[in-house]
Structure 1
């Protein structure tokens, strides 16, 4: 049976689809620590002449606190980014000496920047292009506004240009990560689809093997058992049983060879030359005769005007008859009366197969896995039909509805 693989849905929080685990990874700690080290490399030289004593300690602690939200940069990238921009502004306004002394031309010596760069990269990585571009423009403009202190912007062109380069680089890196993540997710999705297709094909081949082997082995065992009982009293019937065994075994071998060829790699030309056509409804007489010779009385009845069946539907109809006769042979045995009733309607073929349960089953054929009927149900549904089965009086019935065309 095929158990269809459900595709795992990747949580979409941006252009590349991000699925984050609730805990922090080593990469998170590595990024935060590296960013903190880079920040300190600019913090101490820039503030050594402007901050001292308690104010310097407070500034250091405040800057260090700003790195904590970076652990959540991929869970809430926009919020973390906005918070760190505010964190940057608060530092400039309240921890920069003489910030409010507008009578002097004064340039801000330092502001936290590494946290904003990392947060901006996360926004670019995890959010759509429009949101990330808005974040980039805000990251460039906001520091200019809070540090200009009323000066014309043309006096800060170097500052604006340098900031744009750094922030633009962080944004571009985030977009690069997003693009790679999208490609990785796409490859993983293709792999999952390929695995699902392989599993489905394996189940299809397993169902084919079951249908072929189960029917052939059941018929051969019934004839072997019957031939053994009459070999001394009726050698001619025993010889006939052996002929049926040989015929059914040959047919099963050919079917197995066809399936094995499906597993071998070959080009289209070899495919056309090697593969034999699948059996269809018109081939069911090859199933019925061996069962009849095993002692099961099988009658075939058809009503209505026969329509056309697609190859896959015709093959499904063939397997319905095959599995039904196999089960009748196993569980009802010789002496059973079975009916294969084909009812053609304008757009539907109904297969009603039943037995009266009046036979004598062999004890060693009682066991069953139930795999056949379940596999048959899936085969019929794939062909666009429906199927039902169950006990009826002393026997068993199976009814399948398959689509047909006039």
Structure 2
């Protein structure tokens, strides 16, 4: 690109509201380019004919340009009219060519106005203002020098200036409209992208929640399976009745684990909304604590359950979180202190909150084959309690491992 065009060309594509030029013209582009070519070439032919064959009054007055200058103007203006076919791609060279031609050429007037309009559409205002100033200067020189002008300098200059400014204003209006449409399109695309991102994030959150539910549900069942299977392994000589009973418990626990897993996966398939009632499973409430304690007792864990609240009076969300905390607490005790007695206390009142305390003695020795686990059960419980608006603490206290959780309990209005 030559140096003399850099003031007009470098910001073109970046500022063009129509975006990069397409590889092929559309039907609309063909129609517009045809109209522009017809107007530019038609004006060139008409004005050239009028200059070659002026009215009798002009001839009598001795007014007219030399024939050679008229033909030079006609050829130069014809080249400019042909250049309108490529005015979008080569706008800068065409605009500079017409600015120089306008100093002496009456036949290129319409072509010049079309280029002014195009510059206004495809270039920023600073470039347009500079180009219009050059066109106005050339109009002043043209009005002062050309012998065809009989209407006077100011009248001729005023007509040229008004038409140039009008073409520029029309181009600016089209440019503003295109920029507005582009901004609307960008906003719509951003809104769609943000909506897709929100949907993806919601899916990730829901899958994380379901994975946490699967851990809470299955860890309890599988720990029971591990205990009973271990008893069968280390007591191969037990009476047939005990072996049959342990095997029945293993079978029942495995069946129950499959049912829980099927219920959790069902949440993924049905896409349950928040307005629908919560399923009975895999989200049991405090009313199921008795059954939970009985399952642990059948596995050989001594469980003392003290529930000092009415499970039906506890809000559903709080009751579900409380059940999961007790379930994970019992699972944690079986993993790390097998055979130890566990005491579970549930107390509280509306507006005071729900308090859950799980205590078990520290194990005397670590079991040879401890129940495997991921080690994130208590972390998940702490996160669950935090999401519910409560808190969870755990640690060793006086030879015992104590897990304490507090959950908010708002009184019903």
Instruction: Please indicate the TM-score interval, normalised by the length of the shorter structure.
Output: 0.5 to 0.7
CA distance in 2, matches of 1:391, 1:341: 17
Q: Is 2:101 the partner of 1:48? A: yes
Q: Is 2:381 the partner of 1:376? A: yes
- Alpha-carbon distance change, 49 to 28 in structure 1, aligned in 2, over 3 angstroms: closer
Q: Which residue of 2 aligns with 1:295?
A: 300
Residue 49 of structure 1 and its aligned partner are, at CA, apart by: 5.0
- Alpha-carbon distance change, 353 to 107 in structure 1, aligned in 2, over 3 angstroms: farther
Are 1:329 and 1:361, in contact at CA under 8 Å, matched by a contact in 2? no
Q: Is 2:345 the partner of 1:341? A: yes
CA distance in 2, matches of 1:176, 1:328: 65
Q: Which residue of 1 aligns with 2:154?
A: 105
Q: 2:223 pairs with 215, 218, 226, which one?
A: 218
Measured against aligned partners, the alpha-carbon deviations of 1:306-343 in whole angstroms (never above 9, x if no partner) come to 67222222111111011111111011112x12111112
Residue 302 of structure 1 and its aligned partner are, at CA, apart by: 3.2
Q: 1:198 pairs with 187, 191, 203, which one?
A: 203
Are 2:311 and 2:319, in contact at CA under 8 Å, matched by a contact in 1? no
CA distance in 2, matches of 1:305, 1:29: 68
Q: Is 2:384 the partner of 1:387? A: no
Residue 175 of structure 1 and its aligned partner are, at CA, apart by: 0.5
Residue 162 of structure 1 and its aligned partner are, at CA, apart by: 2.7
Are 1:303 and 1:342, in contact at CA under 8 Å, matched by a contact in 2? yes
CA distance in 1, matches of 2:170, 2:133: 23
- Alpha-carbon distance change, 107 to 181 in structure 1, aligned in 2, over 3 angstroms: farther
Residue 201 of structure 1 and its aligned partner are, at CA, apart by: 0.9
Q: Which residue of 2 aligns with 1:11?
A: none
Measured against aligned partners, the alpha-carbon deviations of 1:370-403 in whole angstroms (never above 9, x if no partner) come to 3322222222222222222223344422211112
Residue 283 of structure 1 and its aligned partner are, at CA, apart by: 0.6
Q: Is 2:170 the partner of 1:165? A: yes
Gaps of at least 5 residues in structure 2 are: 1-13, 22-85, 105-118, 145-151
Are 2:392 and 2:406, in contact at CA under 8 Å, matched by a contact in 1? yes
Measured against aligned partners, the alpha-carbon deviations of 1:225-280 in whole angstroms (never above 9, x if no partner) come to 12333341444333332232222222222111111222224899xx9899757311
Q: 1:352 pairs with 328, 333, 357, which one?
A: 357
Are 2:226 and 2:371, in contact at CA under 8 Å, matched by a contact in 1? no
- Alpha-carbon distance change, 94 to 46 in structure 1, aligned in 2, over 3 angstroms: closer
Residue 294 of structure 1 and its aligned partner are, at CA, apart by: 2.8
CA distance in 1, matches of 2:230, 2:302: 17
CA distance in 2, matches of 1:294, 1:352: 21
Q: Could you tell which deviates more after superposition, 217-226 or 171-180?
A: 217-226
- Alpha-carbon distance change, 276 to 209 in structure 1, aligned in 2, over 3 angstroms: closer
Are 2:286 and 2:323, in contact at CA under 8 Å, matched by a contact in 1? yes
- Alpha-carbon distance change, 300 to 99 in structure 1, aligned in 2, over 3 angstroms: farther
Q: Is 2:332 the partner of 1:327? A: yes
- Greater RCO, CA 8 A, separation 6+: 1
Q: TM-score, normalised by structure 1?
A: 0.64
Measured against aligned partners, the alpha-carbon deviations of 1:334-383 in whole angstroms (never above 9, x if no partner) come to 2x121111121332001111211136654333553233222222222222
- Alpha-carbon distance change, 327 to 224 in structure 1, aligned in 2, over 3 angstroms: same
Q: 1:313 pairs with 311, 318, 338, which one?
A: 318
Are 1:309 and 1:403, in contact at CA under 8 Å, matched by a contact in 2? no
For residue 295 of structure 1, give the secondary structure of its aligned residue in structure 2. Answer: coil
- Alpha-carbon distance change, 277 to 208 in structure 1, aligned in 2, over 3 angstroms: closer
If you compute each CA radius of gyration, which structure gives the higher value, 1 or 2? 2
Residue 38 of structure 1 and its aligned partner are, at CA, apart by: 1.5
CA distance in 2, matches of 1:309, 1:405: 9
Gaps of at least 5 residues in structure 1 are: 1-23, 52-66, 68-72, 74-79, 109-150
CA distance in 1, matches of 2:404, 2:277: 34
